[in-house]
A and B are shown apart, each in its own frame.
Chain A
Amino acid sequence: MKVSRNAVFTLALSLLAASCGGGASNTEASDASSSTGTETLNAIVGHKNWVSSIQEDPSELIALINEHRPALIALHKGDLSGATNTPNAGTIGRRAQFELSRLHLRLAEVNRYSWLQIVTEYKTRTGKEAPAMLRGYAQLADYKSVSHNDFPEEIHTTLDIVESAFNDDGAGASVPLVIMLSQRTWETFENKVRLYNPLTHQYLASLYAQTPSSGLSDLPALLFSNCATDAVRPRWSGPYRGVPESSLYCTSDGLLAAAGLNLAAPQRALGEEDEPQKAREFVRTLDDAVTAWSVELSKGPNPEGVALVNELQLTAIYRTQSLLALAEALLDAERPRQAAAVAMLAQDLQAPKQINHINSPILFAILAEAKIRTGHARAALDYLEVLVSAFPEVKGLDETVGDLVVLQNLNRQGDSKEL
């Protein structure tokens, strides 16, 4: 389908205008050829993916824009809830749901680590065993553990209420219900204490993953993604309600593989230790290659495609999503320091506390988890604060991490200075 250049620009600008401006891509080229192997450069430049597909033939994207414009605008700027709830969201809405599932799965991890630390820190800081209720909540949050059998009596009611809502022949289980339950406070510890439902994010991850039977494929599945791989599939299986594997959308490592990194074994490219310096150097090398690739893309034969790629900053989005996939793989490989370094380099620092087309919600969840796992729980709150604004169901997790921070600093001496 031939489309006039003006029409392409209008479409693209309407999408971009609805997003936040600025991109995280480091457009200033350093000495690219001196710091990047020619092989890597060629591999990335020659790498075929959804961005280069659009550049060659934008017709499918233009059709998607025409059919699902509001949803696509929302998805582009990271407004996942907006993309899901927009009327006639279609495949774009399902794509956004998948991202929401991914987000809540990561937040479930943040929750899990937070609760585990709350129990251990309680003993360290107060000299007393954590009360049964806290230990029970930590067990609930630990969705990866095999058995949930030995819960304290007090939390059976909690479980019953949430489970019954979820099990109600599928009709009662719904995202709004779970969100509502997340905000209900369980004042079961003392009158002043508010413990938030530790199952929220697990259930939301599952609910959002239950996409309609026909899985996503082709451009709607790939758009604004990184190309997940077999390496990340295991993350989607587990003891909680199933995530259909057909929701996964790619079978190659994409940009990262072209740069010589295997997500299943990141240590081959990033060293044997969780050392951030190696990760930073890898990202800089990658960025040199991405810059060269962007230049190549801009010489493409289809001016409309080239214009769309540029106006929507698709290479920057692809780069960011690739880095976030790497960061998640590093978290799963017990390398939270490297994960934090990679995620920080993925962040659009021109708007550090805004969700936009570069700063997708999962970026903040990854950073929060990395910070908690490296002892910097207070810094995690800076990232969760961003998510709370967009996702009220994250409020409980924010409070939980806040409790962890307070606990870690009990009986410490505070320091303050001017300026």
Chain B
Amino acid sequence: MRRLFRWSFLAAACGFTVTTFATPLRYAEEQAPGIINPLFTTTMVEARVSELLFDGLYTDNRDLATTPALASNADVAEDGLSITITLRDDVFWHDGTAIQADDVAFTIEAMKNPKTLSTEAGRVEWIKDVEVLSAKQLKMTFVDVQHHPQDKLNFKILPKSQFDSSLVSRSHSFRTRPTGTGPYRLSSFNDDNSVTFRANDDHHAKVGISELVLREVADKSYQAKLIQYESLEALVRVMPQDIAELSRSRKIELYPYQTNSWWFMGFNQKDPRFKDVRVRQALSQMVDIENLLAPIGTGEVLSGPYVKSSPFYNHDVRPWGQDNYAAATLLEDAGYSKVDGVWSKGGKALSFTLTFHQNLETSQKVVINLQSQLRAQGVDVQIEALQEAEWKARIWRKREFDAVLSQWSFDRNEDIYAQFHSKGERNFGAYNNPEVDKLLDEARTAADPYEKKHALRKVHKIVRDDAPMVFLWTLDSYAAVSTRVRRVLIHPFYFFTYVGEWQMK
């Protein structure tokens, strides 16, 4: 230890960066990850943690171009129907064993296995088959011709040795003892709900910061205080009302982290009350969205499933806007009448439960205001908060809800297929419009960028009119990082893709 201290002192005196004394980078999330298993990742928190622990065959380089990660090279067949991939020789799982082609084949099989119910199954639909050619080589064949299949091979690879079969259960112990190949390994779940990650010394690329700690801090404003008091080194998302204060600090730097996110109140259209488009449109026009947004901060009210800067946003489509008269007319057309100030039909009041994530403080504010607004219009709203595990069970798997308040975040592809196609695995509200399906299918397979843009702008218009959700807003989104952290580069979606290059001063 003394020798270490001497060498560190000497290194520091000579101007070399010293990271020996494991200065951790502590970052805040509103809630700890519900599950650490890339097969079942549903939230951005989980995606960010996956980025620390796991690798894909390919990843984005700093210019967002596809670059090999676990793959060393690849040959795409001339007919575009297959690819042969060779894995790197210098990649090891966190348990020290070498990665094999079997692991890749297993991962794809597990994602495709209908009984696994992987939330990431859609990412491998285009792969028909995987053949292991040798310990380090595999061949994938595709359903259709692929021009550059490497772009789609960034899903995380799992170790086959940790599982009994490709039927993986959500409750498998892997969720608390994950083994990856990523730049960090899980070190401990701590009593205060924080999670410690330590640098993977066997990683093929050097890692500049030896320890990361995820701290669960539900109160976003408190997060801002903690970074100012230097009890944290990074905030993943700064609330708009805290941006001003943090931007004035010379010790903190703000980085745009625009994940193309938007908030919504979504209806379950399997529920007879919400099957009627007039009811959904009426509810859309009862909400004063600007008023809901004001306590949260600055943002932009949206009219559909894209943020305003998106190339797919149809600027000819306006948000519904609050119009109580129009809303009343629609409900009357739908057979409702106001009885003692409450909308009712067939003797039953229009009443529903609005469900939201318990740990998200900002969601609580919105839900309470929404409830208040709708009650003032004669719609009875009960509110229900769910913990993460229950949310995944009831909303994602069982679809047992009336209406939900949540947010979606999208990477730069802004692919809304999963949310709005009738077969989309994230279409919780069972929205179904054949024309939208057709347009989404066209957009997905479009070989022409102009066709794709036009198809999706049409989708925006139709979806707005169908009102499967009340589209709320997108917020100005920044991450805050202490200036003690150097060489920071943030991936626009996954955040930690380049964390190996970060250094602590």
Contact surface of A with B, Cβ cutoff 8 Å: 22, 24, 26-30, 122, 124-127, 189-190, 192-193, 275-277, 280, 284, 287-288, 344-345, 348-353, 374-376, 378-379, 381-382, 384-385, 399, 401-403, 405-419
Contacts and interface: CB of A to CB of B under 8 A. Distances in A.
Nearest to B395: A418
B44 interface: yes
B311 A381 contact: yes
B46 interface: yes
Contact of B450 (A193, A284, A376, A401): A193
B147 interface: yes
Interface in B411-428: 411-419, 426
Given A28-B249, A276-B487, A419-B43, 12 more contacts: A192-B450, A350-B244, A352-B476, A403-B453, A412-B151, A413-B154, A414-B410, A416-B409, A417-B47, A417-B409, A418-B42, A418-B43
Given A349-B243, A415-B413, A192 B253 contact: no
A272 to B, nearest CB: 16
Contacts of B483: 280, 284
B309 interface: yes
Contact of A124 (B148, B417, B478, B493): B148
12 contacts: A26-B247, A352-B476, A381-B310, A382-B256, A399-B311, A402-B311, A405-B311, A412-B152, A413-B123, A415-B413, A418-B43, A419-B43
Interface stretch (B57-65, B210-218, B280-288): B57-65
Contacts of B64: 375-376
Nearest to B307: A382
Contacts of A412: 151-152, 413
A324 to B, nearest CB: 17
Interface in B218-273: 243-244, 247-251, 253-256, 258, 260
Contacts of B279: none
B340 interface: no
Contacts of B193: none
Given A125-B148, A193-B450, A382-B258, A409 B43 contact: no
B442 to A, nearest CB: 12
B24 interface: no
A288 B251 CA distance: 12
B450 A382 contact: no
A29 B250 contact: yes
A406 B456 CA distance: 11
Nearest to B251: A30
Nearest to A416: B410
A401 B309 CA distance: 11
Nearest to B126: A413
A143 to B, nearest CB: 24
Contacts of A375: 62-65
Contact of B452 (A376, A410, A413, A419): A410
A277 B486 CA distance: 7
A411 B148 contact: yes
Contacts of B453: 402-403, 406
Interface centre among B151, B251, B410, B426 (most CB of A within 10 A): B151
A419 B409 contact: yes
B449 A406 contact: yes
A418 B407 contact: yes
Contacts of B452: 406, 410
A409 B258 contact: no
B447 A416 contact: no
B204 interface: no
A349 B360 contact: no
Given A192-B454, A403-B450, A127 B147 contact: yes
A410 B243 contact: no
A126 B448 contact: yes
A401 B453 CA distance: 12
B446 interface: yes
B450 A190 contact: yes
B75 interface: no
Task: Pick the 10 closest A-B CB pairs, nearest first.
Answer: A414-B415, A402-B311, A375-B63, A414-B413, A349-B247, A406-B449, A30-B250, A350-B244, A413-B152, A378-B412
Contacts of B406: 418-419
Contact of B414 (A348, A384, A414): A414
Interface in B482-497: 483, 486-489, 492-493
A284 B483 CA distance: 10
Interface string B367-401: 00000000000000000000000000000000000
Contacts of B408: 416-418
B243 to A, nearest CB: 5
A411 B146 contact: yes
B308 interface: yes
Contacts of A376: 63-64, 492
Nearest to A118: B449
Contact of A417 (B41, B151, B417): B41
B451 interface: yes
B450 A189 contact: yes
B151 A413 contact: yes
A112 B310 CA distance: 21
A382 B30 CA distance: 26
A172 to B, nearest CB: 31
A26 B250 contact: yes
A385 B493 CA distance: 20
Interface centre among B247, B249, B489 (most CB of A within 10 A): B247
B45 interface: yes
B497 to A, nearest CB: 12
Contacts of A384: 309
B26 interface: no
B357 interface: yes
Contact of B147 (A26, A411, A415): A411
B298 to A, nearest CB: 8
Contact of B244 (A288, A349, A409): A349
Nearest to A378: B412
A63 to B, nearest CB: 34
Contact of A416 (B62, B148, B411, B486): B411
A419 to B, nearest CB: 5
Contacts of A405: 311, 412
A193 B450 CA distance: 6
A177 B415 CA distance: 38
A20 to B, nearest CB: 12
B300 to A, nearest CB: 8
Contacts of A418: 42-44, 406-409
